[in-house]
Structure 1
Amino acid sequence: MKLFSQNLATFVLLIHNAFSTCAISSDISIATQQRLSVIVGSTTGATSIASWLSTLGPNGQWPDSEINYTSGCDALAASWPAQSHWSRINTFAAAWHGGLKNAAQYVGNSTLRSSISSAMMFWFSNDFTDPACLDSGGTALCPCGTPGLWDTNWDSNIILIPGWVGQVCLLLGESLTEDESAGCQRMTSRSYATFLTGINGVGSITGANTMDIASIGIDLGLSTENATLVSDAYTRIHEELTVKNELMADGIRGDGSFGQHAGLLYNGNYGSANDVYDVELAAAGTIYQASGASRSAFISLIQGNQWMIFKNTITNVLHWDFSVLGRIISLPVADDQATENLKTNLTQMQVIGQLWDSPEITNAFNTLSMNSTTANIGSFNGNRMFYANDYMVHRGPGYVTTLKMFSDRTSNTECLNSQNPYGFHLSDGTTYTYVNGDEYEDIFPAWDWNLIPGITVDYAATPLACATTRVTGTQSFVGGASNGSIGVAAMRYENPSTRSLNWRKAWFFVDDIQFVMISGITSTTTAPVFSVLEQRRQDGPVFINGVESGSGNFSAVSSLWHGGIGYAFNASDSSTSLSVSLKSNVTGSWQTISTSSKPPVSVDLFAAWLHHIDLASSISYTIFPATTPTSFQQRLATSEFNIIEDNGTTSALLAANIKIAMIVFWQSSGGSVTIPSSAPAYAPVTVSATGGSILIVDLVTWNVTTADPTQSLASLTVTFSLGNGSLPLGWDSSSRAVNITTEFPTGGVAGSSVQQLVFQ
């Protein structure tokens, strides 16, 4: 308690210094001007200024028909509509300050300045006075009905509104009146003080929350010319802007993914890097700029982010993969959230790349700025496994495919602020394939949450509700191996809520063909078990076995094609049947899955799934993305995938045309599998491993890529033994049995792939 009191005294002194007069250092002056440029450059709404001025009431409040000022327990917990009051003031302040496009006539305008003051003082005079309402609204500490403008979501009170306030006050500078300055400092300083006091219900302030709150401190420090406060805020940012290696850590992970809310993949929302661009552009050329580990971590994040982005070729807009948006998947494009676009200023990315002399950031900017006629922006091809968050991306000519899994090291998703109540299955091997890029846009209120693309599910056997949406996996064997071009992912699944469904699934990404094996299915319910191929917007005809078809249940199916994606099946396998659903004008309300007030959607949906009639049978199928009906049949005829083994012990596939073997050993003891010879004269090769693992073996160069999905093995020994016959191509040893031992990475890079040559 004594230590807390000492720290509090130090912190109060720090904030007190923000209100004192001190000489403006050159660094503060430079950072202030650069920060102002960033704020003005990101401000919108100039063409609405005249309209907003005309409707602003004499008390500084806009009509309820324009802004919903509902506060307290009755207010929306997410995207508090009352924030529009401050976003309008921000536009006014940027116009008054100068530099805002299409607003030159308002620079220094006294009428505009008077309106700004009126609007600011309306909020300040109605600000909550009970400090408990900052983070305990709706509880006994700040019960419903407590006066003032506050929201039950602490984010609105600590980050959202103070963020706007800090920007406005910095823009107004020395023109602030005493009352305005007092209001500015009160709202921003109590936000920044949460670094010491903490936030009710939040274990610690980490990740994007650190960035947001520290940014508010920077604006406070710059506006009050307090170098100590600015330095403290930047120190907090740069300490956060490092690679976080703990399990379920918030922030940048070693693989370039971004975690938030303890174990959730959130590159597309909390990890979009906007705050970093803003504060680092302000700090450029000053003592506050990032260096060393902070720059390296941020570069890693940018490199990871670019893998997760696709283009909607219909609207010409870049988007985040839906699997990196978390609960934000439940919000429409029109809500100005992370589903709308990247929410990233690419020009800022370019400038940071130049300021830091970073070829990695510059390359990312160039990639994302390229013209593209397909979803794969910049023709950015290859495979990458994000081992810290159980996520794989495969990009090829004309398409982007993403795969989201979860394990006992990660969680599936979350329902927060009434957003995403039905998302329980969103990490059950969810596979999105983008060709045009509009496949899934704004369909989520209408789609079937038990038929999420790529999952294997005991249909409707798990109740879907907000309170039970988030779970951590029960299985450790989840991960993938990638050599940058080829990827193999594997997931051992047990429904963590009901424990009623188990399966093992392997995905093989080779060039522009994807092969899926499913084995070990067990179910204790009477619900049908489906493996979902796709659920998306309809896009043209459906072809089954090369013949145009409609909805129905089909057996002895060899192929399916729709919307640029083909699927191939074993027609002689009677253990499954194919179901296809084509529905027109399916309606859905955003209010059922989020707090959005947007009108219902009506979409035409296509869905296809395999019904597992015999759960004991292993099945497989092949996916051909970015194809036409004709090219699909051509590629199907030339495909040379041979199943070596497909059961609950081993899943192994041979890509005969490129001589690549891919193996998943499911057992903790490892396993053994024999790869047939590529020609009659050559000896077959038996591959044995001492532990559960994933291997990609090049049978020409004998380069082996290995990964430990459990992230628990220290090492793995793999033995290659020849059968009868002559030495295979590239076998550079007189011995017919060769061992290699791989030392697996640990800590924050556990689960990453290791490449090793059999013959050194």
Structure 2
Amino acid sequence: MVDMMILAALAKKMFILRILTNKKRMKIILILLLAFGAVMAKAQDSHTFDRIKKHVYDDELQSSAAPSDKATIWRSQLTEAGTWSDIDYTSKSISLWPPGEHLDRLKALIVAYVSPKSKFYQQKSLYDKIVQAAQYWANNRFESTNWWHNEIASPKAIGVCLILMKFGQEKIPPTLEMQLVKLMERGDPYKKTGANKSDIAMHYFYRALILEDENLLAAAMEQLLLPIQLVDGEEGLQYDFSYLQHGPQLYIAGYGEEFLKGISKVMAYVRETPYAVNKEKLDLFEKFLLETYLPIIRARYIDFNVHGRGISRPDILRKDQEVGLLQQMQLIDPANNAVWKKGMAKLDSLQAFDAEFTHRHYWKGDYTTHLRKQYHFNVRLASKRTNKSESGNGENMLGKNMTDGVTNIQVFGPEYYNIMPVWEWDKIPGTTTRDYPDDQELKEQWGVLATNAFAGGVSNGTIGASAMSVQYDGVSAQKAWFFFDREIVCLGSGITCAAVEPVVTTLNQTWLNGPVVWNGKEISTRDSLIRNVKGGEYVLHNRVGYYFPEAMKVALTAKEQSGSWYRINRSRSKDAVRGKVFKLWVEQAAKPVNGSYAYIVVPGVDQIDKRAMQQLKIWHNTPAIQAVEHQGLAAIQAVFHQSGTCQIGAWSIQVDKPVILQITKGDSVFKLDVADPLQQEKAIHVHLINKSAKVNQIVEIALPQAEYAGSTASKIITIGK
């Protein structure tokens, strides 16, 4: 309609031009054409803003189910002053900030007002309530002691509310709108990194749409998309496609999740406009989503290792909203619609699990994933290059050992869902720790670098080995994990501690689900069971087998444990949480010196195949060398904590530097994979002798450098040469 009016006006002026002289006519034509171009450009810009705002409107309405339900409650409870009496507007709480609820309820009223599916659609009485609640917020400047609420959450919420009201029959009064826009002027995306940068830039984006400010929109888009780049150890997306935030701290979920959800939203909003994301950035974004984030979700439940302090929040491990993320990707990249549909099917807990057959070590994030159709087995490490798990804002109060070789074992998905309030926190799965009488609080805030230099992993994409040297809380230990197809061999050596507390290595601590079977016999529920096991004994629980290849002292409990969310997160409920927990651990002698352990985990099975166990040979488990051979796969894996020589099966192997290596047999060749766990060497020399294969050669392998230091390097060795 606007374009037709412009054309009509131009036609009228062109008619007048016919009676003018040629010279005057040409001059006026030029002026008119310039004016027309400016008007059309302005109309085009306005069209772009309208299209983006409509995308925001559609997205918000789609994600707001049953708009009338909440509106009925909040509408009736709103006071004449524009407040809700149950909200503490004086609170400055760090985590769950009560005044923020006011904006959530305001949005619920607005959605009901602008949604055609609502019984309150365009209702004048509801509009009046909206203005009352909006005016109350505009007349105040509510502040939390946590900057995040002030500079991210509140401005974003205001922006969404104002954009939605653009689709109301009656708009927010201009004066009130400008008051609220002024309150959005918080935070500086140029001073933040990673997900925090994107979050602040998002409300700059909303403000640009409200004001139809081209310059502000361009600046917001530049900052929103800037985090879609690879960085070397800084906060953000790493070269190994892990995600770090709050220093070099693993946050694939949490901040990495916010990165995905926030940027996918804005990419969907600006699709089919001049601001659409370019292919290079889209490819990086999709690689992180498809190869890192989605694979570690099993039947809607994510690995607890990647959530940082967020594991102290209820329901955090269940990923229901990721379906919405994939729906956004269908809009952004429809050419890959089959990929997004497959991703949504994997998130459906009713679907048969269809994980990729992969093994991967993230050398920047100190994290290993081993994914199979039958199970997930992932390990979180730490080193002086990465931060240990953080406590902050009263969250994750007991997570002091959350980076000391923590293992996440999932067959069904929800094995650890909401178990954290009742966990015994010095028996985190996979860790070797002091067994305190009571759980100890994590004193360091916001994460500190681990003290050990040795941590890393080698991988050929299917199998691999990872290891770290634990040096924390008075405990020293060399820990290693050898990942094969169906089995994971877990070794510990050099375990030393002078403290009075016993030292334990925890195999698992998960919800009790079904019977516990020891050596083929179901055991009755009891408070505790401690045995000096012999080599060949095993425990089965919830389709996970734990096999003991050598004698050791093992303890097990299968009983109710209790706690509260408050004990791990000061903003949460003090109400008691109870549940039955399966807990299995190895006990060391008091004040161990050079202690050790060995166990094999076989997930996804109902019984232990002892013939398969015989194919696994533990050749070394000392402070210097830890090595395992899988005779069935013709594969050996070794962790050299220092230079030296050892015999592993038919192989004599000498290395001149600390290294994690793997040898696998192919057709007429062997493949040698190596990784530098110290991330400081330029090359390694490996002398390999295998008389039966007629191999006797010194192999020099150049090691990856800079941002790829610690990643796997490979070399093919021909048999008989």
TM range (shorter): 0.7 to 0.9
Assess, with a 3 A threshold, how the Cα gap between structure 1 residues 38 and 636 changes in structure 2: closer, same or farther.
farther
Task: Name the residue aligned to 1:386.
Answer: 362
Q: Superposed, which structure 2 residues align to 1:396-545 within 5 Å? A: 396-460=372-436, 464-468=440-444, 470-495=447-472, 498=473, 500-545=474-519
Assess, with a 3 A threshold, how the Cα gap between structure 1 residues 77 and 31 changes in structure 2: closer, same or farther.
same
1:167-220 superposed Cα distances (whole Å, 9 cap, x missing partner) = 0011112812123212221121234xx246xxxxxxx41111111000000000
Mapped partners of 1:461, 1:706: distance in 2: 42
SS in 1 for 2:255: coil
Task: Name the residue aligned to 1:51.
Answer: 73
Of 64, 82, 89, 1:69 maps to 89
* Partner amino acid, structure 1, of 2:80: P
SS in 1 for 2:492: strand
Q: Determine if contact 1:369/1:378 at 8 Å carries over to the other structure.
A: no
Task: Name the residue aligned to 1:282.
Answer: 269
1:330 has 2:312 as partner: yes
Structure 1 residue 408, shift from structure 2 partner: 0.4
* Partner amino acid, structure 2, of 1:343: Q
Q: Determine if contact 1:379/1:397 at 8 Å carries over to the other structure.
A: yes
Assess, with a 3 A threshold, how the Cα gap between structure 1 residues 298 and 489 changes in structure 2: closer, same or farther.
same
Task: Name the residue aligned to 1:154.
Answer: 147
Structure 1 residue 353, shift from structure 2 partner: 5.1
* Partner amino acid, structure 2, of 1:624: V
Select the structure of larger CA radius of gyration: 2
Q: Determine if contact 1:375/1:400 at 8 Å carries over to the other structure.
A: no
SS in 2 for 1:401: strand
1:305 has 2:293 as partner: yes
Task: Name the residue aligned to 2:718.
Answer: 759
Structure 1 residue 695, shift from structure 2 partner: 1.1
1:321 has 2:303 as partner: yes
Q: Superposed, which structure 2 residues align to 1:16-35 within 5 Å? A: 24-35=45-56
Mapped partners of 1:414, 1:63: distance in 2: 36
Structure 1 residue 121, shift from structure 2 partner: 0.8
1:169 has 2:162 as partner: yes
Assess, with a 3 A threshold, how the Cα gap between structure 1 residues 436 and 466 changes in structure 2: closer, same or farther.
same
Task: Name the residue aligned to 2:332.
Answer: 355
Assess, with a 3 A threshold, how the Cα gap between structure 1 residues 693 and 350 changes in structure 2: closer, same or farther.
farther
Assess, with a 3 A threshold, how the Cα gap between structure 1 residues 393 and 538 changes in structure 2: closer, same or farther.
same
Mapped partners of 2:172, 2:349: distance in 1: 50
Mapped partners of 1:599, 1:341: distance in 2: 25
Mapped partners of 2:431, 2:409: distance in 1: 13
SS in 2 for 1:378: coil
Task: Name the residue aligned to 1:672.
Answer: 645
Assess, with a 3 A threshold, how the Cα gap between structure 1 residues 362 and 232 changes in structure 2: closer, same or farther.
farther
Q: Determine if contact 1:38/1:281 at 8 Å carries over to the other structure.
A: no
State the identity %.
25
Structure 1 residue 233, shift from structure 2 partner: 0.6
SS in 2 for 1:424: coil
Deviates more, 1:483-492 or 1:177-186: 177-186
Q: Superposed, which structure 2 residues align to 1:214-225 within 5 Å? A: 214-225=201-212
SS in 2 for 1:618: strand
* Partner amino acid, structure 1, of 2:198: M
Structure 1 residue 715, shift from structure 2 partner: 1.8
* Partner amino acid, structure 1, of 2:96: S
Q: Determine if contact 2:156/2:203 at 8 Å carries over to the other structure.
A: yes
Task: Name the residue aligned to 1:690.
Answer: 656
SS in 2 for 1:339: coil
Task: Name the residue aligned to 1:314.
Answer: none
Structure 1 residue 450, shift from structure 2 partner: 0.5
Task: Name the residue aligned to 1:110.
Answer: 124
Q: Determine if contact 2:70/2:108 at 8 Å carries over to the other structure.
A: no
Task: Name the residue aligned to 1:146.
Answer: none
* Partner amino acid, structure 1, of 2:295: W
Q: Determine if contact 2:426/2:439 at 8 Å carries over to the other structure.
A: no
Residue segments in structure 2 that go unaligned for 5+ positions in a row: 1-40
Assess, with a 3 A threshold, how the Cα gap between structure 1 residues 54 and 581 changes in structure 2: closer, same or farther.
same
Q: Determine if contact 1:22/1:225 at 8 Å carries over to the other structure.
A: no
1:739 has 2:698 as partner: yes
Mapped partners of 1:350, 1:663: distance in 2: 44
Task: Name the residue aligned to 2:134.
Answer: 120
1:25-80 superposed Cα distances (whole Å, 9 cap, x missing partner) = 4433322222222222223451221122111111111221xx443423xxx31131
Q: Determine if contact 1:383/1:393 at 8 Å carries over to the other structure.
A: yes
Assess, with a 3 A threshold, how the Cα gap between structure 1 residues 365 and 706 changes in structure 2: closer, same or farther.
farther
Task: Name the residue aligned to 1:18.
Answer: none
Structure 1 residue 747, shift from structure 2 partner: 2.6
Q: Report how many aligned residue pairs link the two structures.
A: 660
Mapped partners of 1:692, 1:389: distance in 2: 20
Task: Name the residue aligned to 1:37.
Answer: 58
Q: Determine if contact 1:409/1:472 at 8 Å carries over to the other structure.
A: yes
Give the TM-score normalised by structure 1: 0.82
1:280-337 superposed Cα distances (whole Å, 9 cap, x missing partner) = 00111222222254223312320210222122xxxxxx1221111111111112xxxx
Assess, with a 3 A threshold, how the Cα gap between structure 1 residues 685 and 597 changes in structure 2: closer, same or farther.
closer
Mapped partners of 1:671, 1:343: distance in 2: 51
Of 230, 238, 243, 2:217 maps to 230
Assess, with a 3 A threshold, how the Cα gap between structure 1 residues 481 and 368 changes in structure 2: closer, same or farther.
farther
Task: Name the residue aligned to 2:102.
Answer: 85
Structure 1 residue 371, shift from structure 2 partner: 7.2
1:562 has 2:527 as partner: no
Give the TM-score normalised by structure 2: 0.87
Assess, with a 3 A threshold, how the Cα gap between structure 1 residues 612 and 467 changes in structure 2: closer, same or farther.
closer
Assess, with a 3 A threshold, how the Cα gap between structure 1 residues 49 and 409 changes in structure 2: closer, same or farther.
same
SS in 2 for 1:230: helix
Mapped partners of 2:135, 2:108: distance in 1: 16
Q: Determine if contact 1:387/1:479 at 8 Å carries over to the other structure.
A: yes
* Partner amino acid, structure 2, of 1:626: G
SS in 1 for 2:575: coil
Of 560, 565, 578, 1:602 maps to 578
1:729-760 superposed Cα distances (whole Å, 9 cap, x missing partner) = xx6xxxx4223332222232222222321239
**Which runs of structure 1 show a deviation greater than 6 angstroms over 4 or more consecutive aligned residues?**
371-376
Of 303, 321, 339, 2:317 maps to 339
Mapped partners of 1:63, 1:552: distance in 2: 53
Q: Determine if contact 2:567/2:574 at 8 Å carries over to the other structure.
A: no
Task: Name the residue aligned to 1:183.
Answer: 179
Task: Name the residue aligned to 1:621.
Answer: 599
Task: Name the residue aligned to 1:722.
Answer: 690
* Partner amino acid, structure 2, of 1:121: Q
Structure 1 residue 654, shift from structure 2 partner: 0.7
Q: Determine if contact 1:320/1:342 at 8 Å carries over to the other structure.
A: no
Mapped partners of 2:239, 2:547: distance in 1: 36
Q: Determine if contact 1:375/1:435 at 8 Å carries over to the other structure.
A: no
Mapped partners of 1:190, 1:646: distance in 2: 56
Mapped partners of 2:349, 2:227: distance in 1: 38
* Partner amino acid, structure 2, of 1:721: I
CA RMSD of aligned residues (A): 2.4
* Partner amino acid, structure 2, of 1:300: K
Assess, with a 3 A threshold, how the Cα gap between structure 1 residues 353 and 697 changes in structure 2: closer, same or farther.
farther
Structure 1 residue 405, shift from structure 2 partner: 0.9
Q: Determine if contact 2:295/2:355 at 8 Å carries over to the other structure.
A: no
Assess, with a 3 A threshold, how the Cα gap between structure 1 residues 404 and 371 changes in structure 2: closer, same or farther.
closer
